[in-house]
A = this chain, B = another copy of it.
Amino acid sequence: MSINAKNPRKRDQQRPLKEGWRQRWYDIIFEADSPWGRWFDIAILIAILLSIGIVSLESVPEYIGNSKLLMCEVFLTGLFTVEYMLRLICVRHPLRYAVSFWGIIDLLSFLPTYITPFLGRSSQSFVIVRSIRLLRVFRVLKLWRMMNDADELSTAIWRARNKVVVFLCVVLVAVTISGTLMYQIETISSNPAHENGIDPNSQFTSIPQSMYWAIVTMTTVGYGDVVPQTNIGKVISAALILLGYSLIIVPSTFVSAEIVNKKVEDSGLQCPVCDATHHQKDATYCYRCGGKFD
């Protein structure tokens, strides 16, 4: 997720070599280990949240063109511009930062505000870019030793990846089969007035629509915008729900089992002499080679 957090060496390559204000500012702006650096990051996060909130509100009909919101947005955009300038000034190789992932995200988070007055609508699309900046929250959280948990989560998901692929294939087949089946059942019409024997009032207007229905149903979201209307459709739909429900519950089970399994594995110490594992947490001697623990 966070390139800076994962590659400390790469990050250090950007740190100014000479001591001085640039190095100090670099530590504040790019690092989150010092108190000032942490507060800087939290301030930026709050500014991002505020700006997302403001741009979101601007899309509400009642607030479109609201001058107060516009002023807030201009102010926050200015803040992000200054932050971007500071980042450019502080790093050892500004160009390398400017073309890096986070550099582009940082640039795109304020640039659209300057351009949109000339472009008209669709200015809200850069809310997505600003949202991505929220992922910097991981850098702040890491300080509170939360990164381990995120790692643990991603490790569990990674270990269960094969099962997830198998599962996605089965879901794809199930969605295709049940979607096509329901399309056939729901659109067949015995009414001779209907063209080609297709019921034009059916909500299953096409196979992709039916597959959309199958996904919405199997995940138990169940909007209700597409529902079976024939009796036979309802019977098959009920059977598919029970089947699909069992199907979709499986992957969470596997991720869960991986986590529990890993915890059981991790719950013992390893002998420093012979690498025997599964020792009690407070063991003094290795059960295999008798090596003493530290």
A61–B195 Cα gap in the complex (Å)? 13
Contact between chains at A238 and B215 (CB < 8 Å): yes
Contact between chains at A120 and B196 (CB < 8 Å): yes
Q: Which of chain B's residues have a CB closer than 8 A to the CB of A222?
A: 216, 220-224
For residue A124, CB closer than 8 A to chain B, the reply is yes
- Complex: chain B residue closest to A188, CB-CB: B122
Contact between chains at B144 and A180 (CB < 8 Å): no
- Complex: chain B residue closest to A212, CB-CB: B234
Q: Which of chain B's residues have a CB closer than 8 A to the CB of A224?
A: 222-225
Given contacts A176-B127, A223-B227, A275-B282, contact A149 B163 (CB under 8 A): yes
Q: Which of chain B's residues have a CB closer than 8 A to the CB of A141?
A: 162, 165-166, 169
For residue A7, CB closer than 8 A to chain B, the reply is no
For residue A100, CB closer than 8 A to chain B, the reply is no
Q: Which of chain B's residues have a CB closer than 8 A to the CB of A223?
A: 222-224, 227
**Interface residues of A, Cβ cutoff 8 Å to B:** 52, 55-57, 59-61, 120-122, 124-125, 127-128, 131-132, 134-135, 137-138, 141, 144-146, 148-150, 152-153, 162-163, 165-166, 169, 171-173, 176-177, 180-181, 183-184, 188, 196-198, 205-209, 211-212, 215-217, 219-225, 227, 231, 234-235, 237-238, 241-242, 245-246, 248-257, 259-261, 263-265, 267, 274-278, 280-284, 287-288
